[in-house]
Amino acid sequence: MNIISFFNKNNKFKISSIFRMLSIGILTYNAPKTLENTLNSYKQTGLLDLSDDVFVVSQMSDKQAEEKAVCDSFGLRCILMPDNGKMAWGFKAVYENAKYDHVMFLENDFIINASKKDVKIFYVNCLYFLKVQNADIVRARSRKDPGSPNYAHMNLSHTDPAEFINDKHLSECIYWVEDPELVYPSKISRIKPFVQNGFWKWYTSTSDSCNYTNNPYVCSKTFFEQNILPYVKFGASLENEMHDEWRHRNFKCVFGPGLFTHDRKFDGH
């Protein structure tokens, strides 16, 4: 996996280590047990070892001090917010506190059920698609193990393909269609990753077929600043504010194997 030589050869960028190029920001609210469970999964699967900038944004709640204690036990910096501005304000704080130009946006209830090898390969391919293939955003919820609830699967999987082809949620079909590029060839294309991993399949589409979601994703701070930040408002969900405009911007979206599983067994909602 000679990714450093590849990038240097193509004059895209020069780096001393591929594993010090991505910030990982985790948004949490009022859920120390959920946060601890999630961070344990990141530690066990090696995610915490892949960046020197992993941090938690803790929004104001009755359990904020407990969340800070959890972060301290993992040796992670914790940004204590003086308020709770919901998802939009939390992701804004992740953007503002990220050290690197590429950021993985996570929530406290998305764990990893994968091997250290899988985690490392997903990480490397994210950087490859963003830095070399000029993708705008890489979605990161697991295709094999998305967790529950998966609202797209629940609400859209029975839609007739002839009707669904023009839907802004088309990319979600990877959760119930094995080869979406064969069913929707005019909308979804199969792409080759830098590092292949078993039967993992990667795809791309424009944002017209790939809705914005707060589910785990990776993008650059520049992209976030120009295309997401303008829709950030205190107390907003962000998804609702982004959807209609997002699909008409022709962003290059990448999705496929993903990595993160929704798991909310603790703390309630």
Tens of pLDDT, residue by residue over 80-101, are: 999 999 999 999 999 999 999 9
Tokens linked to 83: 């308020």
Architecture of domain 22-259: Alpha-Beta Complex (3.90)
* Amino acid of residue 161: P
Is-contact 154 175, C-beta < 8 A? no
3-class DSSP assignment, residue 105? strand
CA angle 168, 172, 178 (to 5 degrees): 130
| Encoded tokens for 186 | 């005019």
Q: Which residues lie below 8 Å from residue 228, measured CB to CB, with a gap of 6+? A: 91, 212, 219, 238, 242
pLDDT category at 2 given cuts 50, 70, 90 is very low
Q: Which helix (H) or strand (E) holds 204?
A: strand 202-206
User: Would you list the domain boundaries of the chain?
Assistant: 22-259
Residue 10 has pLDDT above 80, yes or no: no
Q: Please report, to the nearest 10 degrees, the dihedral formed by the alpha carbons of residues 175, 177, 179, 181 taken in order.
A: -90
Residues in Cβ contact with 157 at an 8 Å cutoff, skipping those fewer than 6 apart: 173, 175, 176
As a whole number, mean pLDDT of residues 262-268 equals: 85
pLDDT at 106 over 90: yes
pLDDT for the residue numbered 162: 93
Q: Of the given ranges (104-108, 195-199, 219-223, 231-235), which has the lowest mean pLDDT?
A: 195-199
Which runs of consecutive H residues, i.e. helices, occur in 45-112? 64-74, 86-97
CA distance 126 to 135: 9
How would residue 20 be classed by pLDDT, with cut points 50, 70 and 90? confident
pLDDT of residue 13: 46
Query: Does position 17 have pLDDT exceeding 80, yes or no?
Result: no
Q: How far apart, in whole angstroms, are the C-alpha atoms of residue 43 and residue 78?
A: 16
pLDDT band at 14, cuts 50/70/90?
very low
Q: Are 129 and 135 in contact (CB under 8 A)?
A: yes
Whole-angstrom Cα distance, residue 233 to residue 222? 18
Q: What's the pLDDT score for residue 16?
A: 44
pLDDT tens figures, 140-156: 999 999 999 888 888 88
Return the SS3 of 22. strand
Question: Parallel, antiparallel, or unpaired: how do β-strands 77-80 and 102-107 relate?
Answer: unpaired
**What span, in angstroms and rounded, lies between the C-alpha atoms of 152 and 81?**
31
Q: Give the single-character DSSP code of 65.
A: H
The pLDDT confidence band at residue 266, using thresholds 50, 70 and 90, is: confident
Amino acid identity, position 31: A
Which of 153, 122, 156, 152 shows the shortest CA–CA distance to 139?
122
For residue range 168-214, list pLDDT tens digits in order: 999 999 999 999 999 999 999 999 999 999 899 999 999 999 999 99
